[in-house]
């Protein structure tokens, strides 16, 4: 898999200038493109910037992958388009901004191809996706962390709470809802109910608290991180958003990490929601 990804990045790097799926924007077409495109990610860069050069092939891979999803990736050369970049207060390179119906927001994903793809796919979905028996299983498997609410009617205060929490946390995970009592039974949950599906630890966490927005958000934040995680530049913001103290385990290799992680697992379970272990 890593070898295949490396080949894709190498291929992307060799053909960026010749046949690119990244749209190059200038002051002449920027406003029109942004206003006419419902969702677009724009990289503001400088040709001399080393970080920009490192991002370029990954950005190209993401652009090609997202093209079929009707998600556009674009770039602006801030040396050639100095005034345009001043309008958006670009102070460092590369700066990535998401434009939704013309309105800009900060890009909060990783700078890897897979991370860009996952983040923008998530942005292209509704805040909370309506799920059916045909789509639920695929949705649950679609991301590392997926939150699904189960309801017996199409409008309720519980759904409003879920929507509010989804608006806060959609950058980090996908949210869906099922309005079908029989389908809820398949997932072994009563309505109203909520399950956080995750591709680590125990595989899922079932919520048994109130539908207060604060309680719900606290549950999602705490359960969406591993009991004993590995801190990196890719997930640092997630730990910061959790708003909890961090307990650091310092190890020299993977074997030590596994051994020490297993030793503190019970403590981590007892302190879940109070302290995050990394």
Q: Is 52 a catalytic residue?
A: yes
Contacting residues for 197 by C-beta, under 8 A, at least 6 apart: 140, 145, 146, 147, 148, 203, 204
Q: What is the C-alpha to C-alpha distance for residues 245 and 265, in angstroms, rounded to an integer?
A: 17
Residue 148: what are its φ and ψ, rounded to 5°?
-130, 130
Q: Is 15 a catalytic residue?
A: no
Q: What is the C-alpha to C-alpha distance for residues 82 and 27, in angstroms, rounded to an integer?
A: 9
Question: What are 139-142's contacts with CB under 8 Å, separation 24+?
Answer: 139/174, 139/176, 140/176, 140/197, 142/174
Active site residues: 49, 52
């Amino acid at each position: 898999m890593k070898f295949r990804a490396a080949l894709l990045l190498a291929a992307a790097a060799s053909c960026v200038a010749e046949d690119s799926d990244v749209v190059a924007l200038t002051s002449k077409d920027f406003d029109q493109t942004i206003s006419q495109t419902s969702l677009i990610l724009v990289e503001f860069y400088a040709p001399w910037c080393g970080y920009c050069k490192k991002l370029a092939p990954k950005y190209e891979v993401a652009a090609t992958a997202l093209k079929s999803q009707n998600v556009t990736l674009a770039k602006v050369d801030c040396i050639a388009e100095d005034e345009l970049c001043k309008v958006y207060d670009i102070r460092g390179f590369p700066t990535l901004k998401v434009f939704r119906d013309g309105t800009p927001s900060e890009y909060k994903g990783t700078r890897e191809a897979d991370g860009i793809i996952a983040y923008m796919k998530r942005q292209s979905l509704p805040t909370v996706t309506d799920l059916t028996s045909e789509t639920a299983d695929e949705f649950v498997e679609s991301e590392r962390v997926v939150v699904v609410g189960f309801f017996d009617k199409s409008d309720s205060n519980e759904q409003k709470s879920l929507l509010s929490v989804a608006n806060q946390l959609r950058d980090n995970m996908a949210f869906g809802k099922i309005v079908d009592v029989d389908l809820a039974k398949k997932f072994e949950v009563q309505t109203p109910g909520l399950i956080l599906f995750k591709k680590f630890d125990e595989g899922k966490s079932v919520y048994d608290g109130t539908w207060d927005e604060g309680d719900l958000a606290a549950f999602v934040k705490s359960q969406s991180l591993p009991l004993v995680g590995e801190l990196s530049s890719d997930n640092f913001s997630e730990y910061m958003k959790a708003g909890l103290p961090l307990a650091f385990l310092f190890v020299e290799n993977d074997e030590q990490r596994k051994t020490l992680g297993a030793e503190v697992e019970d403590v981590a379970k007892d302190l879940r929601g109070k302290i995050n272990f990394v």
